[in-house]
Structure 1
Amino acid sequence: MGRKVVVAVCTLNQWALDFEGNLNRILQSIQEAKEMGALYRTGPELEICGYSCEDHFHEPDTFLHSWQVLAELLKSPTCKDILVDVGMPVQHRNVSYNCRVAFLNKNILLIRPKMLLCEDGNYRETRWFSGWTKDRQVEGYYLPRMITAITNQTTVPIGDAVISTRDTCIGFEICEELWNPQSRHIPMALDGVEIISNGSGSYMELRKAYVTVDLVKSATFKSGGAYLFSNLRGCDGQRIYFNGCSCVSVNGEVVSRGLQFALHDVEVITATIDLEDIRSYRTNIRSRSHLAASNVPFPRIAVDFALSDDEDIHLTISPPIEWKYLTPEEEIELGPACWLWDYLRRSGQGGFFLPLSGGVDSTSTACIVFSMCTQICEAVQKGESQVLYDVRKILCQSDYTPSDPMELCNRLLVTCYMASENSSQETKQRASQLASEIGSYHFPIVIDSAVSAVIGIFTTATGLVPKFRTKGGCPRQNLALQNIQARLRMVLSYLFAQLMLWVRGRPGGLLVLGSSNVDEALRGYMTKYDCSSADVNPIGGISKTDLKSFLQYAKSRFFLPSLSEILQAPPTAELEPLADGQITQTDEQDMGMTYAELSEFGRLRKMYHCGPFSMFEKLVHKWNNKCTPQEVAEKVKHFFRCYAINRHKMTVLTPSYHAESYSPDDNRFDHRPFLYRVHWNWQFKIIDDTVAQMGKDKRIKQGDATKPESPSGSSANISLNFNMRRDRKGVLI
C-alpha cells in the first residue's frame, strides 16, 4: 500500500533584520503550502532574521526579536495543522547556534543546531556561531517565558535528533552539511530517516548552479530517500545574491524545482512523494541495508501526527524532471538585474545614474538595468502585486502600471556621456544610440571647463603647467592629467545623481552605478575614486570576456543593434589626446596584458592559490605553444608587480554583485594584504633561476656541449637590481 505525502519547499527573499517583513513572507509561504496540500513546510537558512546579519549576531536584540517572530508564528492560525520548521539563531548555555526550529500546533518539537559551519568564499560563520559537536545527543533547552506562555513548555530538546511521525521520519541538515564530506544525511538515511530537509543560504556564482543540483541528487542516489533543499533568494544586505533553485529530490532524481532568479519574494514548490518508493529503493541496495543494520540510532522525537492519510490514493506522484541550466549569458542578464532591483527598492532612492561611455563595461551595466525593467514589466503582467507596489513607491506614483520596458527605463535610468577634448565622436555616438534603444533619459556634457579649472588651481599654486606625454610631459604629468578627468567624472556623477530627479520634477535621488569589471579591479587598472567609484556596481564581479559574450547575447535578446559596433570597438579609457581625431590609447596596451590573460592570472591566484612561482610553473606548460618560458616569466612578473602596486585600490572598490570565483574584493571574499613589497625579490629570483635551468636542460637535450653560465649567487643571495620601468599609465613597475 502506498503512503503518499505532500511536502513544501519555500524560497524567500528575506532582508537582514527586517523582522516584520520576514515574518510576513514566512506566513505567506506557510499559507501557500497549506493551500497546495502540504502537511510539512520547510524554509531557507536563518529566514527569521535574515542570513547576512553578520556582527548583529553578537547583539542580544537579534536573538530577542527572532524569538518574538517565532512567538507570532506559533500563535498564528496559519500555522495550525501543518508541521513547520524555520531557521533562526538560538543561544544555548551562552553559545550561539544557527538552528532549525520545528513546531506543530503551538508546540516546539525540536531545535536542531547546525553542526558543520561554512568558512570559505564569502562565508564567515564561525565568527558568530559555533557548531553543535555532540553527535546524536540532545539536551534540554529552557524556553523564553514568552514562548512558554504560548506552548506551555518549559524545556524542549535541542541537539542532533530527528522527528518521528506516525508514518515517516524527518531529519535536518543546514546548508554546509550538504557540502561537507561527512554529510549528516548519510547516517540519518541509514537510520531510516526518509525525509531530509536542508535550509540553505547558498549564493550564486557564474556556471555553478549545477553544483547544488548534483549534491542534492547525490544525497538520495546512494542511500535513497527524499531531500528537500530550500534556499534563500535575493540580496539581503550584502554583495552576494542568493539564487533560489530550491528543489526536491527522490531516490536520485529531481522531482520538483523552483526558479533560479525571480523578482517575487515568496515562491513555494511542492512534491508528492510515495514513502513506499523510498523503502523499496533502499531495501534493494543490499550493501546499504547491511550497513544500516549496525547504524548507531539518532534520538527520535515522537509526534502524534501523520503526513499521509487513507485517501492518498488520489494523489499523483511527482515524476522526475529534467533540470535545464541557464547559460552564463542568461545568468548575467538575470542575476545582477534582480540584485539591482533589491538594492533599489530597499535603498529608498528613485532610480539609477550611469556615466555611459559607449564602451563594453558601461554598456553592459545599462543593459542589465534594461533587463531589470523587462523583468519588472513581466512580473507585473503576471500579477505580482508586491513588484507593482514597489515600482509605484519608487516612482512616487500610486496609479502607475509599467508595461513597456523602454518607458520604465526612461523613468528609472539616467545616462550621461561625459566628454572631454580627448573623447571621440564615435564613442559619443555609440552611447547616444544605445540610450535611445533602451529608452534611458540621456544627455551629454563636456567636462573640459572643469578640468581647466582644476589645472588652473594647480598652476596658480605652483607656477607649473602639467602636460600630456605627447606634448612633452613626463609620465607623472601624463598620469595626473588623466586622473583629473576620471575623478571629475565621479564628482559630476554624484552631483547629477542628487539633482536630476529635482530637474525632472520628482522627489528623491538616484543611485550612482559603477561599471568596472573584475579583471580591471584585479589589475588595478582604474583611477582611485574615479567614475568606477559609485554606490553599487552590477558588473564588478564579472570578467571582460563574459561581458562581451553577454552583450552578444543581449543584442538579439533585447534587439539592440548598437551593440554590434560597441563590441567591435577596442576598449579604451579615452584619457589621452587623440591623434587626428582617432584613439591612440587602448586598455590592453595600457595594461601590458590581454583581458584573457588577466582572467587566467585571476583564476590561478585565487581559485588555485598560486603565488608567482607556482603560477609560472602552471602557465609555462599551458602556454608552451604560444610563449617561451622567458616570456611566460615576464608576463607573470608583470602581473604580480601591477597587482602589488594597485592592491590598495581593492580597499575602496564599489560594492559589487559577486559573480566570479576569482573576485579580488578586499577583506570579504579575498583576504589578502593591501600593502606589499612590490618587487617580489625572492619569488622572481626563483622564477629566473628556473627559466635559466630550463634553458640549460633544453640545450643539453639538443646536444649543445656549451654549458650556460650558472645563475649567480645562491637562492639566499638575491640581486636587488631590477630594470625599473613604467607602464603607459605612468605607474612604476
Structure 2
Amino acid sequence: MVEGIYEGARLDDGTPHYPCNLVRNDSLSVIICSPSDSSLNQWALDFQGNLERILASIATAKERGATLRVGPELEIPGYGCLDHFLEGDTVLHSWEVLAKILASEEAQGIVCDVGMPVVHKNVIYNCRVIIHDRKILLIRPKMWLANDGNYRELRYFTPWMKHRQWEDHYLPRIIQVITGQTKVPFGDAVISTQDTCIGVELCEELFTPASPHILMGLDGVEIFTNSSGSHHELRKLYTRVELIKEATLKLGGVYLYANQQGCDGDRLYYDGCALIAVNGRIVAQGSQFSLNDVEVVSATIDIEDVRAHRAKSSRSMQAAAAERYHRVEVPFALTSGKFDSVREDNMSALLSTGSSFNLRYHSPEEEIALGPACWLWDYLRRSRTQGYFVPLSGGIDSCATAVIVYSMSRLVAEAARRGDSQVISDARRIAGEPENSSYIPLDPREFTGRIFHTCYMGTENSSKETRQRAKDLSEAIGSYHVDLNMDMVVKAVLTLFTGVTRREPKFRAHGGSAAENLALQNIQARLRMVLSYLFAQLLPWARGRIGGLLVLGSANVDESLRGYLTKYDCSSADINPIGGISKTDLKKFIAYAEKAFPLPILSSFLSAVPTAELEPITETYVQADEADMGMTYDELSVFGRLRKVEKCGPYSMFTKLVHEWGSFLSPVQIADKVKLFFFEHARNRHKMTTLTPSYHAESYSPDDNRFDLRPFLYPSRFPWQFKKIDEIAAVLPDRSVAVIQEKAKQD
C-alpha cells in the first residue's frame, strides 16, 4: 500500500524541522488534528469488495493516528451503479454493509464519513453517513446534483432542497440493533465535536457558484469534507485543485477531498488524487493514477492556524450575521492537547503558515500513459480474462493502443517490485499461473508476452513498411505477434457476391465507381473485425493455455467525430483505450513514450503518413487519411471542441472561426470547411451510436451512449443553417489577403 503522508519542511540533513511559531512552550496550547482521506478503487455492486476496502482504509487511517476518515462518494455500492440505484436491493445491501462497518473494530475511536444511497420518506438521496463508535451522528444528503456530461444523478437521486434544515430519519432494524438508535438527524446540518466543527460538502457542490462551505464556514465550521466521484479528463486536475484551494483561501479552514480511483465498471476512470488543503494551501496529495486498491492520505494540522487566518474584521462582520446550522454534538475530540501524544512518525506532517508543498501535475503525455493503462488493468483483472488482442496496422493509432498496454505492464512490474500482493495475485491468475506459484511479474516485456497478443492483417494493398513497423513494435514491447495475409478471405467473400449477382466490383483505380470502391474497402475492414475475434478467442488455446482475450479498438476521438471509420470494422472491439483521445495528443504521447519507456521504434510511426491502406497504391495515388477526410486532425479537434464544449451549431461555429482563422483563410474557405464538417458528422452520426466503449479522456468525445446525447438522423445538408453561412461569408471582407500582402511587403 502506498501511503501519501504529507512531508513537512526538512533541514539539509533530512531531519524534520518544526517552526518555533508552531510548537509553543506550553504544549497544552498546541491543538493538533490528524485527518485523513482515502482514494478507493471501488467497483459498482461489489459490496463485499467495497466493504473490505473501506475497512482497510479506516484501519490505515487509525494506524497513522488519524481521528477523522473521509471516503469517496457512494463508496459502499460504488458510484457507477447507474440505474441500479433505482433498485431496492442496492439500498438494502448498502445498509447491510454499513451495519458491518458500524460493528467493526476498525471503525471504533474514529469519526468516519462514508457514502451510500438512502431512502428518506420514499425519496432516494445520495448521502454521507457520519458515524462514530457504533453510532450514526448525521445523514447528510447531497443538495446540488451533477447532471451533465457523464453524469445523470437526477435520474436516480433527488437533491435535498431544505437548506439548513433537518428531520428525523427512522433507521432500519438491522442498524437499530447495532447502534441502539431508533432515529437520527437527516438533512443539512454539521457535526460539533468537543474541539472543532465539521461540515460536509459533496463533489458537485464544490463546483457550484454558491458552495455550501461558504455559509458553513461563516457559521464556524472549521473542517470541510468533500467526498467525490470525479473522473479523469486530460488537463482537468488543475481546475479541481484550484477550486479546493479557493474554498479555504478567503474563508479559512481545512478541506479534506476524497475521490474514487480506478475503473468501477464503465467508460470513466476516477483519478483519485485525494487532497488536504489548509487556508488555501494544498498540504497533502495522493496519487492521481495508481494500481492500489486502497490509498490513504493523511496530515497532522494545527487548528489554531485556521482560527488565526479567520481573525479578520470583514470576515467577522459577515460571520456575525450568518444563519445558524444545526449542530449534532458528539462527545469526542479530534485534536490532541499534548505535543508528545502525537505519533512520532506523523511529526513531519505538522503544518505551519510557512511550510511548502510541491503539488504534482502530470503532463498530458503522462496522463495518457497512466490513466488508460490503469483503466485497462482494472478492466482486465475484473473481467477475469487472460489478456488483450489488438490488430496492429503499422499506424500511429494501433501503435498508441499497444504502447498503452505496455505501459500497463510497466505499472504492474513496478507494483510487483514494491511487493503489492493484490497486483501479484491478479497477475498470476491472468498469466495462467497457479495460486501457489512463485511467479512475480518483474519484467514488463515478459509479462506483456503472456497477456498481450498482436496481429498484422495484411492484404495486397498493404505496404512492406507498415508490416515491418508492426513487427518491430511487437518485438520491442514483447507481445505475442502473428503476421498474416487475408487476401484469400477477401477473395472468398467477393467470389460469393459475384456468383450471386454476376457483377464483379472494382476499385476506383481500376475504373470502378465510388460505390464499388467504398464497398471493397469496407469488406477488408469488416473482415479484420471478424478475424480479430476469431484470433482473440483461439490464440490462447493455440498456445496451450485456457481462456480468451479482450479485443481492443484503436479509433481515436477525431476519427469517431468525423465518422472516418467503417461501421463494425476493426475499430469495433470490446473496449478502446484511445477512443477519447485526439490524434494530436496521441502523437505527443508517442513522442514522449519513445524516450520515457524507451522505445526507439516509435520514431518511425511519428514520421509515417496516416493511411488506411484499403485502396491499391498506384504511381499517382497513395491513400492518406487527411486527404480522404477533407480536413486535418488539428482542424477536427477545433471543430469538436466548438461543437461540444462551446455548444456551437453550424452558424455560430462559422462566426467564431471567422475571427480565429480569418488571418489565413477567407470567409468562403472557412464556410466550406464548417459545412463539410457538419455534413460528414451528420451523415456518419449513426456510427457513433455503435462506438466501442472507450476510455473517456476528452471533453469533446462523441460517445453517444453516455456523453454526447444527440439524434442520429440529421438533415445532413442543413439547408437553413448553410444558407445563412453562405450569405454572411459572401459579404465579409477577406482578411487573409491583407495578411498575405503585409507579409509579402515585410519579406
| TM-score bracket for this pair, using the shorter chain length | over 0.9
Amino acid aligned to 1:459: T
Alignment partners' CA distance in 1, 2:245 and 2:257: 10
SS at match of 1:197: strand
How far is 1:296 from its partner? 0.6
390, 393, 397: which is aligned to 1:354?
A: 390
Deviation at 1:674, TM superposition (A): 0.7
Q: Report the count of equivalent residues.
A: 697
Counterpart amino acid of 1:504?
Answer: R
Cα 1:634/1:303, change in 2 over 3 Å: same
Is the 1:514–1:537 contact (alpha carbons within 8 Å) kept by the matching residues of 2? Answer: yes
SS in 2 for 1:433: helix
Contact 2:30 2:337 in 1 (8 A): no
Partner of 1:175 in structure 2? 203
Match of 1:590 in 2: 628
Q: What code does the residue aligned with 1:457 have?
A: L
Aligned counterpart, 2:310? 282
Partner Cα distance (2:97, 2:564) in 1: 47
1:665 aligns with 2:703: yes
Per the alignment, residue 381 of structure 1 pairs with: 417
Specify the alignment match of 1:230 in structure 2: 258
User: Secondary structure of 1:407's match?
Assistant: helix
Structure 2 residue corresponding to 1:442, chosen from 481, 486, 501:
481
Residue 343 of structure 1: which of 379, 394, 412 is its match?
379
Q: Distance in 1 between matches of 2:633 and 2:284?
A: 40
2:329 to 302, 312, 315: 302
Letter paired with 1:308: T
Gaps of at least 5 residues in structure 2 are 1-28, 738-747
CA contact (8 A) 1:574 1:583 kept: no
Which of 617, 639, 655 is equivalent to 2:693?
655
1:522 aligns with 2:561: yes
Aligned to 2:466: 427
Aligned CA distance change for structure 1 residues 698 and 18 (closer, same or farther; 3 Å):
closer
- Structure 2 match to 1:418: 457
Q: 1:313: how far off?
A: 5.2
Alpha-carbon distance in structure 2 between the residues aligned to 1:576 and 1:636: 27
Partner of residue 713, structure 1: none
Alpha-carbon distance, 1:430 to partner: 0.5
Greater mean deviation of Cα atoms: 95-104 or 285-294: 285-294
Distance in 1 of aligned mates of 2:521 and 2:549: 27
Counterpart position of 1:185:
213
1:472 match: 511
Checking the alignment, whether the CA contact within 8 Å between 1:524 and 1:649 is kept in structure 2 is: yes
Other structure's SS at 2:255 match: strand
Displacement of 1:579:
2.1
Instruction: Tell me by how many angstroms 1:696 deviates.
Output: 10
The match for 1:75 is 103
Cα offset, 1:78, TM superposition: 1.1
Aligned residues of 1:163 and 1:302 also touching (Cα < 8 A): yes
Deviation at 1:691, TM superposition (A): 1.1
Residue 540 (str. 1) matches residue 601 (str. 2): no
Q: CA deviation at 1:320?
A: 3.8
> 1:344 and 1:698 mapped to 2: Cα distance?
52
Tell me whether 1:625 sits opposite 2:663 in the alignment.
yes
CA distance in structure 1 between the aligned counterparts of 2:716 and 2:204, rounded to whole angstroms: 37
In the alignment, is the contact (CA less than 8 A) between 2:452 and 2:479 conserved in 1? yes
Q: 1:583 to 1:87 in 2, by over 3 A?
A: farther
1:359–1:583 CA distance, 2 compared to 1 (3 A): farther
- Equivalent AA in structure 2 for residue 144 of structure 1: P
Q: Distance in 1 between the 2:540 and 2:237 partners?
A: 39
Please state whether the residue corresponding to 2:500 is helix, strand or coil. Answer: helix
8 Å contact from structure 1 (residues 424, 583) kept in 2:
no
* Match of residue 13 from structure 2: none
Q: Secondary structure of 2:209's match? A: coil
Who is 1:714 aligned against?
none
Native 8 Å contact 2:222 2:306 kept in 1: yes
SS in structure 1 at match of 2:689 = helix
Whole-angstrom CA distance in 2 between matches of 1:647 and 1:216: 38
Shift of residue 309, structure 1, vs aligned partner: 2.4
Indicate conservation of the 8 Å contact 2:665/2:736, yes or no.
no
The secondary structure found in structure 1 opposite 2:455 is strand
| Aligned residue number for residue 603 of structure 1 | 641
For the residues of structure 2 that align with 1:675 and 1:289, how far apart are their CA atoms? 59
Q: CA deviation at 1:583?
A: 7.0
User: How far apart, CA to CA, are the structure 2 residues paired with 1:310 and 1:623?
Assistant: 64
Q: TM-score, normalization: structure 2?
A: 0.92
Q: Report the more deviating stretch, 361-370 or 77-86.
A: 77-86
- Residue among 407, 415, 426 paired with 1:371: 407
Q: Pairwise mapping of residues 95-110 of structure 1 onto structure 2 (< 5 A)?
A: 95-110=123-138
| Residue type at the aligned position of 1:642 | E
Match of 2:20 in 1: none
Query: 2: distance between equivalents of 1:497 and 1:698?
Result: 52
Deviations 1:430-475 (A, max 9, x none): 0000110000001101110000000011001100000000101000
SS, match of residue 504 in structure 2 = coil
Q: Is the 8 A contact 2:666 2:736 kept in 1?
A: no
1:25 is matched with which residue: 53, 61, 67? 53
Matched, 1:90 2:118: yes
Contact kept? 1:2, 1:313, Cα under 8 Å: no
Distance 2:281 2:521 in 1: 57
Q: Deviations for 1:683-717, whole angstroms, at most 9, x for unmatched residues?
A: 00000110122159999xxxxxxxxxxxxxxxxxx
Q: Give the superposition deviation at 1:644.
A: 0.5
Contact 2:666 2:735 in 1 (8 A): no
1:507 is matched with which residue? 546
Assess if the C-alpha contact under 8 Å between 2:662 and 2:736 holds in 1: no
Partners in 2 of 1:697 and 1:83 — Cα distance? 65
- Separation of aligned partners in 1, 2:485 and 2:310: 72
| 1:635-666 C-alpha deviation (Å, 9 max, x unpaired) | 00000100000000000000000000000000
Q: CA deviation at 1:561?
A: 1.1
Work out the CA distance in 2 between the residues paired with 1:559 and 1:5.
45
2-structure distance, mates of 1:470, 1:596: 29
Residue by residue over 1:397-430, the C-alpha shift from the partner in whole angstroms, topping out at 9 and shown as x without a partner, is 1312101110000011000000000000000000
1:566 aligns with 2:594: no
1:447-458 mapped onto 2 (5 Å cutoff) = 447-458=486-497
Quote how far apart the aligned CAs of 1:287 are: 1.0
Contact 2:664 2:736 in 1 (8 A): no
Letter in 1 for 2:402: A
Amino acid at match of 1:494: Y
Q: What is the alpha-carbon distance in structure 1 between the residues aligned to residue 33 and residue 204 of structure 2?
A: 27
CA distance in 1, matches of 2:705, 2:60: 40
* Residue equivalent to 1:636: 674
Deviation at 1:238, TM superposition (A): 0.9
On the 8 A contact 1:353/1:512 being kept in 2, the answer is yes
Q: Indicate the larger mover: 652-661 or 395-404.
A: 395-404
Residue 270 (structure 1) aligns with: 298
State the alpha-carbon separation in 1 of the partners of residues 449 and 87 from structure 2.
43
The answer to whether structure 1 residue 137 and structure 2 residue 127 are counterparts is no
Instruction: Map residues 57-72 of structure 1 onto 2, 5 A cutoff.
Output: 57-72=85-100
- Does the residue aligned with 1:344 lie in a helix, a strand or coil? helix
Partner of residue 222 from structure 2, selected from 194, 200, 206: 194
1:209, 1:325 within 8 Å by CA — same for their partners in 2?
Answer: yes
Partner of 2:338: 311
- Range moving further from structure 2, 589-598 or 316-325: 316-325
User: In the alignment, what sits opposite 2:359?
Assistant: 323
Name the aligned partner's letter for residue 24 of structure 1.
E
| CA deviation string 1:564-620 (max 9, x = no partner) | 11110100000001226x971000000000001000100100011011111110111
Q: Which residue of 1 aligns with 2:14?
A: none
Of 237, 247, 256, which aligns to 1:209? 237
Cα displacement string for residues 3-55 of structure 1 (whole angstroms, at most 9, x for unaligned residues): 11100110000000000000000000000000000011010000000001000
